[in-house]
Chains A and B, each alone.
Chain A
């Protein structure tokens, strides 16, 4: 700027006067940029609000309609012999814990093994390619189809129409395994190759390097992936409706008999109301509240776990 002023003829005439058109032309791009910025910001905020509205409204609705039944009885009673008021979801909560636990016990070892094979051994082999393709397909299998597959399998093995918590776990495992494979594979790939080399160079066979170096290094990510996998299946309803069935009573035996779960509990309270419809509505919403709380805890846990594990390691 100072340079242009300097070359101007001193004591000039027209060139010293401010030309309004030129000033406007110079500032226009600035104005336009600011306007675009404002509009973009507005659109983004709107999008955020629109995303948050359903979440807030669901939480609000569940609290409003379900909190009436958020009592001790809800967590200490089953629905056995209950028509109308009272009763609880203990049987469904236990069922969800048992079925989900069994699912995790099936899906985590299998999914992790597949991921270890893919990252540590498979490389670009044909079997590895086939496994990846299979996982891709499994991810997109509709959950009701997983339920039907488990139903067919258990009918073949234990007689037609067999329903059990274990059958439910088998169906859910089909959904959870690809989730675990994918998240574990991603995390294992993040373990630097030079740690594997360092392990091998210490004179250890490959599987021991995986066991003692690769897996511990990846542990924070692996656990959070597994927890997210559990969060993914804990709200599944359709396959459980098919193969775990529904009951009003407690059932601690995964291997035998129908087993209630939270999603199915919500569904049946909602869909087959007795005379006192308000009591059924309230139980359904209370069930939704409990299920959401479980999912939120799992999500938060998945986030907190890696840093917690790191902290424990640092302070050992």
Chain B
């Protein structure tokens, strides 16, 4: 299997060898949280213009450089040596047969992978100059910068719709009140294309909505903590076609402000919504998943470089 460098998204050489943390030229001292690093001006604030790519070329804020990432469950190697550039403020789709480690890699990006007992990941995941996977970086701080939307909509049933949007703040012990809270709720619900449907029943329970609405509520909840990246793991697979269309539209819209990474098993969806597609596969069940190729979605779908990619896209396996 060959890991091909995506065309046009980076100027680096082939990323097969793991780059050490801090290799982006911005040495962040160990034991420093992402937020601290940003505060002290050591790294560009996420979202600010002017952060530089590896070769000094400007890249969009929210750019993620994944280099030599391997993920383990105990001693089981689930994802092997993935190097991939995820462009900022764009939609990147992860596709591939089930079991090839798409979810695992996605969860490694916001350090949710290590929540599973015995799970760990190696390699570096550099977001705007900070290695999210670095030893001194606080996983909790990473997750407030890299949000996540899950396969099954999971609003908090004990909270109202409004409180679900504010959940990120509420969980951290804040008590958002008054017009500032109302404004944030409206802004996030509008962002998630849900405002008009729920504005009259914000006090109703979060799980009183339809599946598609619940998923959009989860998106509103994720963007309310002002992340730079929104990860989505098959966000439409539990939804009907109409709701799916609404979420797809929303994903395109979100890419204006956030880096969106979406796992999908729906080729047509990947083709419709993503700017960059990464195709993962595995030799056989039980073998580690690997990145086969990645590149601009149009190129990858019209002229895949690897035969396995073409076979998968054309539905010949997986």
Which residues of chain A have a CB within 8 Å of any CB of chain B? Answer: 123, 192, 194-195, 197-205, 208-209, 212-213, 216-217, 219, 313-314, 316
Interface residues of B, CB < 8 Å — how many?
34
Give the CA-CA distance A204 to B144 in the complex, in Å.
Answer: 8
B168 touches A316 (CB 8 A): no
Residue of B nearest to A309 (CB): B158
Interface positions of B (Cβ within 8 A of A): 110, 112, 115, 117, 140-145, 147-148, 150, 152, 154, 156-160, 167-168, 170-173, 203-205, 208, 218, 221-222, 225
A201 contacts B143, CB within 8 Å? yes
Q: Is the CB of B154 within 8 A of A313?
A: no
A203 touching B168, Cβ below 8 Å: yes
Docked-complex contact B160 and A199, CB < 8 angstroms: no
Which A residue's beta carbon lies closest to that of B151?
A194
In the complex, residue of chain B having the shortest beta-carbon distance to the beta carbon of A313: B205
Cβ-neighbour of B160 out of A213, A219, A316 (below 8 A): A316
Q: Is the interface of B mostly helix, strand, loop or mixed?
A: mixed
* C-alpha gap A197/B156 in the complex (Å): 11
User: Judging by beta carbons under 8 Å apart, are B158 and A213 in contact?
Assistant: yes
Asked if residues A213 and B156 are in contact (CB atoms below 8 Å), the reply is yes
Complex formed: what's the CA distance from A217 to B156 in Å? 8
Main SS of chain A's interface residues?
helix
Residues of B within 8 A of A219 (CB): 158
Q: Are B117 and A212 in touch, CB under 8 angstroms?
A: no
B173 closest partner in A (C-beta): A208
Given that A198-B218, A316-B160 are known contacts, is A208 also in contact with B205, CB under 8 Å in the complex? no
Listed from nearest, the 10 A-B pairs whose CB atoms lie closest are A203-B144, A201-B148, A203-B143, A216-B158, A204-B171, A202-B168, A194-B154, A212-B171, A217-B158, A198-B154
**Contact among B115, B145, B205 for A197, CB-based, below 8 A:** B115
Which residues of A sit under 8 angstroms from B147, Cβ to Cβ? 201-202
Residue among B117, B143, B158, B203 making CB contact with A200, cutoff 8 Å: B143
Bound state CA distance, A126 and B83, in angstroms? 39
A217 in contact with B157 given A202-B225, A316-B203 (CB within 8 Å): yes
Nearest residue (CB) in B for A219 is B158
- Chain B residues with Cβ below 8 Å from A197 are 112, 115, 150, 154
A314 and B218 alpha carbons, distance in the complex (Å): 19
What distance in Å separates the Cβ of B107 from its nearest Cβ neighbour in chain A?
9
